Amino acid sequence: MSDAKKMFATYVEKHEMTVLKDDGLYRHIRFQSPDTSIFWFDLITWPHNLVVTGDVHSYQFARMDDMFEFFSANAGARGGINPGYWAEKIRGDNPAISFSEEKFKQQVVQYFMDNRHAYRDKVRLWKTIREDVLDNAYAYSLADARHILYNFDYRDWRTNEEFEFADVWEWDLTDYDHHYLMACHAIVWGIAKYRSAVTC
């Protein structure tokens, strides 16, 4: 989550706010840098709804009359985000959770560390896992990752030892989607900018 926050901060350094509509709970506010269209986004609200859209993945959230109040009241510590609770309020098909390559690699390393003591040639085993699993270029989805793990086959004919990844269907290889986290940061940041401007 910290990577998404850092990336978001670099994108919005020069963003300016344009209020396209501000009529009670009906708002349309644009945030964009004057010299580029990279990561411009709109916040659009109407009673019980907020949409974030633009050069970000679009998400619609529905919960209470004033969705600015909803996101402000339910932000994480020190004005952060609350991705778990907010994901429950999503309407539409864009995912809040997706395959995580980082968690995939963490699980593989942890599984090796937990089981390495049963093998005499740990270095050769680790080298094979690194080359055939961790450096495998096509682990782009949950299905790809499970396919790689299920099909990994290690045999050391010198020691008659075999290694396989067991019970991988139990592994949690998902995390909050990067685009979803960026959208969450955009909402919090945009609301803060709007409120700062209207209270001046």
Q: Tell me the C-alpha distance between 39 and 7, whole Å.
A: 11
Query: What's the predicted TM-score (pTM) here?
Result: 0.82
pLDDT in tens, 142-197: 888 999 999 998 999 888 899 999 988 899 999 999 999 999 999 999 999 999 99
pLDDT at 2: 64
The number of beta carbons lying within 10 Å of the beta carbon of residue 106 is 13
The residue behind tokens 């995939």 is 104
Amino acid at 49: N
- Give residue 78's pLDDT band: very low, low, confident or very high (50, 70, 90): low
pLDDT in tens, 25-48: 999 999 999 989 999 999 999 999
